């Protein structure tokens, strides 16, 4: 197409003055972006104006409406300039750049040689000229656009329509239309304009050829996209030309769409129209290719795209990428990896086959040469095969060398042999110094196996395991005068690969296992057994010495105590030589097989053994020694040592002593606690007496009504995550790690400086089939370490709370990117926005229920010793059941709305919600949170109005210091406004606690009649808190007296208590007020103080 245009324009340049002239644009205006673009037509016209006096005398003339009707040019001079202009356009047009990768252009009028769009009215019968197709040129910028112009300002009832051709949407879900246009100022037509306007309408019509819908030229079927006007200015006779650019978008569902421009009396030039849709460009990430993906139907909708692995790669987890509405990819999960035998190219995202002589397995990241004693002759090899005679163990990695089985042990020798035992030793198999590639041929995991002929089940081996790596073996319980053949086989990890039947019938040395292939019947069978093993081995033959008949009988235990034993035995009946001595050995019964049995020698037929363990069963044996050696041991005799009586007595005494110590300790602890409590209560009472003497002489029953803080609390306290050196440690302690595979992101519902806030679904245990709605806050990859630390700190704070009115943390994702915080999903968003949207739609009792939930949540936080510091309606979230929950615990971060923040030495403070002592001295306590709660109460009753309106922060601070308090919102009950004033007491100790606020709201909810008194008195709005000491000592009636002291909320309480006279009220006590349900200490003091000063009026 581009080549065709270039050839056509070149032919126009050759035609010279004989070419057809294109009329310049005669209706121009400004754009929304107000980018100043002086078109080619203006300087050209100025040039032509300079030669106007030479060209207006003869020849055909043309009027230039942009400047003056008298500015006319001759045909020859004008055609010469036009010829030069077309040549410049042709050169520039041939080098135009294609559209960006993330835009797919469906229509671009700047690339068209002619448009020929459908127009109405059109033709000789038309009442108005309507839309006219012209050329818009700028030889400086190389522009030659076909455009449409209309300027029927001199007609009544103008209704000009211009339809685009049918635009097939393809895979697009949302189409964008970009219009470049100009609009002429109506002031240029002071007398001639009958219907001059400065706007036009943009409409669209979706059409599907498969349906029986009305034809696209029926105007009633078109939907309005927008009425489009110029930006800040419209050009006139003395101003430069401003080109306006307007971009609109629509969601599309059918096969295609028509766009329409409707003019009703404006002077417009539609210079260029481009229709396109946005895609996330095709990318290759993690060796997975993601095709070009059109964005969703709405900007907030994300499209999930599955990737396909590049050639010679395979997925380790299904690759997915999310396409956002702005055409950018986000949150890549899964990916592919190169198959074995192929090396990954991380720059080009390709997998290249390994050349011959190299390989790549799963254990290595790139192609490497074959390990020693192996080779490969093919490309893309996943492993190198061992050369003949060498083997590789299956558990060895493919990058490990191949080895030979070991040779036979060397220097096999008999170190000792007697009638019943023998000791043999050997050296390890000989090794070649080095094999191929300077690597030893033999593995270092050489172990030994023993085969023995004539060894029956009584023979004991040490070591007794099937295989061992020692080079010495002891055999016991052998038969005298017997010839034994012992083979020592050397094996390693790859020996069984030489012959799969290697260990089919092999019997290993184990003192507890009978040797199945040992035969004592024939030598032939024994020889066959030894020949079964085909591994390298060494063999030795030895014969035990002759038997000694000297055997001990009748061994017995004469006496045994806790530590001693006396043994006696009889002399041998037969002996081959004189007896030199007796050897006695003993051992605990569980250690029968131990080789370190204790022994002593004696020449008598008795022995006294000392040093035995208490309460232990021992085995005893005796054998005799002659000049021919030791005889065999006698049978084992067992006996158990005693437990001494003294130890039992000592244990009993010790138990009694410990019990007595415990009883004494508990007794003294009780005395200490009682004494401490008595001292604290006495001290507290003294402080109350001092306090009451400094104010009013209150009765004792009032003073005793003060609540005493328990000495030991049972609620757990909040732990500040900033005390942890590593934020990850706090996360592991207070938050639950969630596998990212159980999370599905559905839509982006918000965003911030550090990441997006999304709505999603979370699969919940135990079977992870059911899922719930959750809110997902993500941290952008590449965020600063401080941002990550603040992000994790907020999660570790939330993870410590579990209350129905505090936002619940489901868990966190920290082991994969992006880092996420998963919380419960609150459908109605922040409280201030929710109230503004639903202004006036709730009853007062519904608002009280919401306020009660906020107070309950803050009471829970206060009990945990947590101070919120930023309690405001914007930081309270509302779910579908209108339950309010405290949120936003990122206290270490800066206040997001800088206009509401006041900077002090300690940081930024939201002054409109913060108590005076916190602003002045940064003294943040639960009492300062109560002040903030009073402001939240005002926000709720005013349906989200901004506290202190548009005052500056300095004005707010000064007004509060002077005693100013926010006025009561419209239709606010007196009781609720009085609660606000209580929360805004300057002395923080006079403010109610959150627990008492919850109790007050509960009383108001149970007594709706107390909400009927509305605080709408103009004289009190915006004034200081009234002085309660003025004019309150006059009693006319209970209701009037309570109203005078601003305690009318308790009128019903006084009626129920039947307090109707001044005498009754003057005798009130604090206990009576508490019984009546008046629990706020400040209110009790105020009522009692005024009651004492009553002037009784009869």
Positions marked catalytic: 870
Q: Does 59 appear as a known binding residue?
A: no
Q: Does 416 appear as a known binding residue?
A: no
Q: Does 1082 appear as a known binding residue?
A: no
What's the CA gap between 740 and 172, in Å, rounded? 30
Cα separation values, 100 from 276, 889, 993, Å? 11, 43, 62
H/E element holding 91?
helix 75-93
Q: Does 757 appear as a known binding residue?
A: yes
Query: Among candidates 339, 345, 382, which has minimal Cα distance to 360?
Result: 382
* Structure tokens belonging to residue 425: 């030793």
**What is the SS3 assignment for 953?**
helix
What's the CA gap between 15 and 603, in Å, rounded? 141
Q: Does 545 appear as a known binding residue?
A: no
Cα separation values, 19 from 42, 58, 83, Å? 22, 21, 8
Sheet holding 553-560, edge to edge: 553-560, 565-570, 606-609
Q: What's 28-39 look like in SS3?
A: CCCCCCCCECCC
What's the CA gap between 11 and 202, in Å, rounded? 37
Q: Does 481 appear as a known binding residue?
A: no
Provide CB contacts within 8 A for 1061, sequence distance 6+: none
What's the CA gap between 157 and 191, in Å, rounded? 17
Say if residues 242 and 34 touch (Cβ distance below 8 Å). Answer: yes
What's the CA gap between 27 and 65, in Å, rounded? 8
> Phi and psi of 665, rounded to 5°?
-60, -45
Helix intervals (H) in 759-895: 785-798, 831-837, 844-863
Q: Does 753 appear as a known binding residue?
A: yes
What's the CA gap between 792 and 1031, in Å, rounded? 57
Q: Does 801 appear as a known binding residue?
A: no
What's the CA gap between 328 and 371, in Å, rounded? 46
| Chain-centroid distance, C-alpha 553 | 80
**What is the SS3 assignment for 526?**
helix
Say if residues 190 and 288 touch (Cβ distance below 8 Å). Answer: no
* Structure tokens belonging to residue 199: 């706007």
Percent helix, percent strand, percent coil in the chain, to nearest 5? 25, 30, 45
What's the CA gap between 638 and 400, in Å, rounded? 56
Q: Does 756 appear as a known binding residue?
A: yes
Query: Among candidates 1067, 1074, 978, 998, which has minimal Cα distance to 706?
Result: 1074
Q: How far apart are the first and last CA of the chain?
A: 107
Q: Does 256 appear as a known binding residue?
A: no
Burial call 658-687: b when 16+ CB within 10 Å, e when fewer: eeeeeeeeeeeeeeeeeeeeeeeeeeeeee
**What is the SS3 assignment for 971?**
coil
Residue numbering of the annotated binding site: 749-757, 777
Q: Which residues are annotated binding-site positions for ATP?
A: 749-757, 777
């Amino acid at each position: 197409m581009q080549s065709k245009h270039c050839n056509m324009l070149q032919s126009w340049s050759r035609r010279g003055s004989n070419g057809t002239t294109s009329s310049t644009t005669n209706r121009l205006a400004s754009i929304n972006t107000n980018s100043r673009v002086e078109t080619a037509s203006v300087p050209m016209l100025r040039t032509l104006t300079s030669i106007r006096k030479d060209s207006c005398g003869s020849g055909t003339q043309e009027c230039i409406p942009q400047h003056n009707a008298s500015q006319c040019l001759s045909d020859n001079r004008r055609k010469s300039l036009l010829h030069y202009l077309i040549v410049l356009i042709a050169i520039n047009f041939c080098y135009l750049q294609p559209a960006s990768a993330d835009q797919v252009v469906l229509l671009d009028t700047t690339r068209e040689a002619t448009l020929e769009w459908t127009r109405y009215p059109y033709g000789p019968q038309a009442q108005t000229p309507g839309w006219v197709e012209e050329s818009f040129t700028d030889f400086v910028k190389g522009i030659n656009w076909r455009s449409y112009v209309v300027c029927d300002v001199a007609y009544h009832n103008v209704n000009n329509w211009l339809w685009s051709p049918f635009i097939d949407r393809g895979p697009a879900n949302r189409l964008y239309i970009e219009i470049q246009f100009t609009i002429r100022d109506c002031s240029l037509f002071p007398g001639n304009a009958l219907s001059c306007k400065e706007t036009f309408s943009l409409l669209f019509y979706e059409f599907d050829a498969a349906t029986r819908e009305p034809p696209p030229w029926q105007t009633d079927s078109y939907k309005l996209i927008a009425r489009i006007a110029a930006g800040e200015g419209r050009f006139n006779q003395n101003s430069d030309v401003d080109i306006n650019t307007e971009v609109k978008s629509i969601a599309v569902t059918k096969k295609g769409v028509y766009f329409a421009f409707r003019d009703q009396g404006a002077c417009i030039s539609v210079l260029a129209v481009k229709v396109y849709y946005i895609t996330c460009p095709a990318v290759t990430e993690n060796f997975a290719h993601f095709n070009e993906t059109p964005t969703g139907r709405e900007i907030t909708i994300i499209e999930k795209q599955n990737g396909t692995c590049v050639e010679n790669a395979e997925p380790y987890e299904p690759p997915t990428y999310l396409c956002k509405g702005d055409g950018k990819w986000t949150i890549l999960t899964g990916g592919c990896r190169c198959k074995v035998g192929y090396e990954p190219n991380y720059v080009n995202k390709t997998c290249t086959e390994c050349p011959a002589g190299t390989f790549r397995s799963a254990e290595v990241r790139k192609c490497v040469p074959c390990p020693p004693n192996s080779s490969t002759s093919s490309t893309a090899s996943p492993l190198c095969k061992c050369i003949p005679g060498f083997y590789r163990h299956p558990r060895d990695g493919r990058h490990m060398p191949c080895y030979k089985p070991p040779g036979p042990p060397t220097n096999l020798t008999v170190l000792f042999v007697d009638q019943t035992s023998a000791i043999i030793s050997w050296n390890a198999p000989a090794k070649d110094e080095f094999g191929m590639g300077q690597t030893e041929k033999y593995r270092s995991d050489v172990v030994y196996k023993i085969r023995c002929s004539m060894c029956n089940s009584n023979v004991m081996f040490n070591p007794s395991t099937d295989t061992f790596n020692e080079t010495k073996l002891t055999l016991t319980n052998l038969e005298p005068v017997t010839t034994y053949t012992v083979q020592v086989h050397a094996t390693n990890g790859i020996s069984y690969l030489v012959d799969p039947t290697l260990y089919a019938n092999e019997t290993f040395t184990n003192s507890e296992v009978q040797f199945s292939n040992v035969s004592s019947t024939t030598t032939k069978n024994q020889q066959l057994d030894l020949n079964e093993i085909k591994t390298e081995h060494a063999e030795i033959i030895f014969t035990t010495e002759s038997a000694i008949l000297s055997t001990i009988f009748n061994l017995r235990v004469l006496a045994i105590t806790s530590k001693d034993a006396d043994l006696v035995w009889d002399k041998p009946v037969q002996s081959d030589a004189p007896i030199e001595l007796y050897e006695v050995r003993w051992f605990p019964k569980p250690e029968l097989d131990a080789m370190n049995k204790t022994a002593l020698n004696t020449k008598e037929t008795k022995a006294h053994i000392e040093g035995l363990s208490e309460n232990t069963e021992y085995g005893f044996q005796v054998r005799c020694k002659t000049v021919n050696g030791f005889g065999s041991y006698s049978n084992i005799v067992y006996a158990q040592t005693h437990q001494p009586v003294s130890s039992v007595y000592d244990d009993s005494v010790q138990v009694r002593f410990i019990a007595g110590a415990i009883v004494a300790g508990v007794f003294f602890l009780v005395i200490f606690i009682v004494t401490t409590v008595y001292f604290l209560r006495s001290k507290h009472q003294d402080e109350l007496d001092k306090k009451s003497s400094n104010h009013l002489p209150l009765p004792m029953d009032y003073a005793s009504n003060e609540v005493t803080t328990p000495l030991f609390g049972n609620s757990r306290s909040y732990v500040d995550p900033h005390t942890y050196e590593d934020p990850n440690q706090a996360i592991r302690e207070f938050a639950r790690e969630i596998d990212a595979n159980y999370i599905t992101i559905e839509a982006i519902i918000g965003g911030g400086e550090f990441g997006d806030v999304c709505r999603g679904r979370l699969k919940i245990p135990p079977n992870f089939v059911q899922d719930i709605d959750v809110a997902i806050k993500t941290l952008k990859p590449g965020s600063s370490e401080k941002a990550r630390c603040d992000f994790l700190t907020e999660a570790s704070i939330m993870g410590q709370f579990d209350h129905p009115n505090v936002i619940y943390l489901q868990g966190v994702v920290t082991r994969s990117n992006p880092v996420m915080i998963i919380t419960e999903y609150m459908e109605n968003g922040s409280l201030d926005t929710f109230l503004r949207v639903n202004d006036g739609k709730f009853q007062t009792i519904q608002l009280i229920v919401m306020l009660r939930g906020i107070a309950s949540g803050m009471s829970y936080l206060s009990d945990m010793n947590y101070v919120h510091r930023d309690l405001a309606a914007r930081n309270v979230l509302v779910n579908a059941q209108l339950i309010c929950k405290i949120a936003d615990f990122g206290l270490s971060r800066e206040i997001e709305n800088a206009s509401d923040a006041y900077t002090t030495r300690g940081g930024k403070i939201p002054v409109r919600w913060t108590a005076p002592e916190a602003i002045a001295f940064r003294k943040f306590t639960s009492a300062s949170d109560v002040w903030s709660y009073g402001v939240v109460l005002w926000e709720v009753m005013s349906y989200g109005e901004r506290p202190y309106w548009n005052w500056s922060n300095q004005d707010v601070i000064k007004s509060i210091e002077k005693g100013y308090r926010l006025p009561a919102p419209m239709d606010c009950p007196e009781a609720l406004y009085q609660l606000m004033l209580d929360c805004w007491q300057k002395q923080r100790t006079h403010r109610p606690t959150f627990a008492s606020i919850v109790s007050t709201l509960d009383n108001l909810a149970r007594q709706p009649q107390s909400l009927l008194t509305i605080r709408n008195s103009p004289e009190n709005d915006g004034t200081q808190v009234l002085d309660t000491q003025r004019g309150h000592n006059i009693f006319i009636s209970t209701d009037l007296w309570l109203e005078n002291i601003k305690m009318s909320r308790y009128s019903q309480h006084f009626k129920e208590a039947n307090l109707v006279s001044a005498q009754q009220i003057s005798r009130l006590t604090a206990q009576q007020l508490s019984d009546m349900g008046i629990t706020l200490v400040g209110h009790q003091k105020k009522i009692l103080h005024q009651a004492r000063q009553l002037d009784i009026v009869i």
